[in-house]
Amino acid sequence: MAFRRVVSFFTDLLFPPRCLFCRAILPADSSGVCSECDGSLPCRPAGELFFPEGSVCSAPFFYEGHVRELIHRFKFRGKWALAKPMAGYLARAAEHLPPSDLVSWVPVSRARLRTRGYDQSKLLAQETAGLLWLPPVETLCKPRDVPTQNTLTDGASRRKNVSGAFRALPGAVEDRHVLLVDDVFTSGATLEECVRMLCEAGAASVRCAVFARTRQPTGAG
């Protein structure tokens, strides 16, 4: 035990714990989020749901500020280990949804996977599934690479861009309730296309959990 305490001391000295969101150095006994972020993060109201076409969705945060920066580190800067702490927030968001039989994810294309080296939504789904005691199941593939959605500015263009880009895997979802995980919800085009494909493949229902969504005017979905 004494040896472990020594190792822990030097580990904290060399690699001090940092806030998940702003990277500020934290005390060793902290919860992983600094007091400033804890009081200022763009949190969505607990339990508040929104309704992309054909589904219901929950998200713990709005896509702005430190939350946006965190997702960019995770998604574009190789910080794949962030999936584990991020999944804790997704699992709590999923508790406000009806029960599911499995957890799945919005996949990236093979070309994007080769470039990035990992599928960020798959990592989130696997970690979230473990917290919810559900199996992570691959239910979709993305055989066609398309321009990234953030290069398009309107909903119609985004929907056209992803139309036909995803396919449901045979036999993966028939008569099953699916929790579909993704990192960000913007216009909803990608998520809606995935939900449509899963429902056409026989899913009993598809409900969604995303880490963050863009802020919408009151009454918009």
- pLDDT tens for 10-46 read 334 445 788 889 888 887 766 688 888 888 899 999 8
Q: Taking the mean position of all CA atoms in its chain, how far away is CA 143?
A: 21
State the pTM of this model: 0.83
- pLDDT tens for 137-165 read 999 998 876 555 455 454 555 566 566 67
- pLDDT tens for 172-182 read 999 999 999 99
The confidence band for 60, taking pLDDT boundaries of 50, 70 and 90, is very high
Nearest Cα to Cα of residue 57 among 90, 102, 84: 90
The confidence band for 7, taking pLDDT boundaries of 50, 70 and 90, is very low
In the chain, the domains with their CATH numbers are: 1-40 (no CATH), 42-213 (3.40.50.2020)
Q: Which residues contact 43 (CB under 8 A, 6 or more apart)?
A: 60, 61, 62
Mutual angle of helices 65-76 and 83-94, in 10-degree steps: 120
201 phi/psi in degrees, rounded to 5:
-85, 0
Name the 3-class secondary structure at 212: strand
Nearest Cα to Cα of residue 91 among 209, 6, 216: 209
Residue linked to tokens 């993966």: 172
CB atoms within 10 A of CB 173: 27
Q: Kindly state the helix (H) or strand (E) to which residue 14 belongs, with its residue range.
A: helix 2-14
